[in-house]
Amino acid sequence: MEAAGKAPGSVITGGYDISAAALDGLRKGYISVVVDQQPYLQGFMPVVAAVLQKRYGISGLMLNTGGGVITKDNVEAIAALVEQGVR
């Protein structure tokens, strides 16, 4: 948007998965909202599910990790975790 000459907030935009680039876009106002699918959990929980299946025969673990949204109003609450690679 910046390269196209658009002012922050002049075009409503959105994305999936929070990243350092998305943090920057949210902070600058070029991104309106990002769906937080929590990619760390998407990688970690399948390992937990595999261990539970192998060790205890527990199968079918289901976990919805996509329930949150990040905007300019709440980006700073999770920014440090994103920058550390936890979120």
- Summarised one tens digit per residue, pLDDT across range 24-36 is 999 999 999 999 8
Is the pTM of the predicted complex or chain greater than 0.85?
no
Mean pLDDT of 36-61: 89
Mean pLDDT of 4-30: 92
Handedness of CA 11, 15, 20, 21 (dihedral sign): negative
Q: Which pLDDT band holds residue 70 (cuts at 50, 70, 90)? A: very high
Mean pLDDT of 72-86: 89
- Identity of residue 58: I
Whether residue 87 is predicted with pLDDT greater than 80 in this model: the reply is: no
Tell me how far CA of residue 37 lies from CA of 16, 25, 58, 65, in angstroms.
7, 17, 24, 5
- Identity of residue 46: P
Nearest to 29 by CA among 75, 66, 85: 75
What confidence score (pLDDT) does residue 84 get?
Answer: 87
